[in-house]
Amino acid sequence: DVNLTGVFLCGREAAEQMIKTNEGGCIINISSIARAGNFGQTNYSAAKAGVAAMAVTWAKELARYNIRANAIAPGFIATEMTASMKPEALEKICAGIPAGRMGSPDEIGDAAVFLLANDYMSGRIIEVDGGLRL
């Protein structure tokens, strides 16, 4: 419900408001690199693949209203959730990331700023993952 349905409902409402104001805009949703499939995460991977597909489809459907749609697909990001993991698990995760560390929330924000600033970006999923490919 949160990872797919909620994203759809919020995006649909945002698009409706943007259409009403006739000013265009950009919808950015959060997918995940797990959208390509991650062992033990079938439901999460499927939901995040759906979010990525929404960005591509909405970009096509909403272009006539000057609305762009994109998604950001983070890898492992240093958040409260990951901070609560066992240190051994965090070390193992970071060892598998080519950048050698988790990303920061600010780096996800930087990707959003890029997408907002570039009016020719639409229907794309930006991976912010330190080189990790699941």
The pLDDT assigned to 133 comes to 80
Please give the pLDDT value at position 11.
97
Query: pTM, whole model, 2 decimals?
Result: 0.93
Determine which one of 8, 19, 44, 112 is catalytic: 44
DSSP bridge pairs for 127: 73
Q: What is the pLDDT of residues 78-90, one digit of tens each?
A: 999 999 999 999 9
User: CA of 19: how far to CAs of 25, 36, 65, 68, in Å?
Assistant: 9, 32, 6, 12
65 tagged catalytic = no
DSSP secondary structure of 83-110 = HTS-HHHHHHHHHTSTTSS-B-HHHHHH
Q: What are the tokens at 29? A: 């949703």
Going by C-alpha positions, the residue among 29, 32, 126, 110 that lies closest to residue 74 is: 32
> In the chain, where are the structural domains located?
5-128
DSSP state of 77: B
SS3 106: helix
pLDDT of 102 reads 96
CATH number 3.40.50.2000 is the correct assignment for the domain at 5-128 = no
26-74 confidence digits (pLDDT tens) = 999 999 999 999 888 999 999 999 999 999 999 999 999 999 999 999 9
- Whether residue 134 is predicted with pLDDT greater than 90 in this model: the reply is no
Q: Is 26 left (phi over 0), alpha (psi -120 to 50) or beta?
A: beta
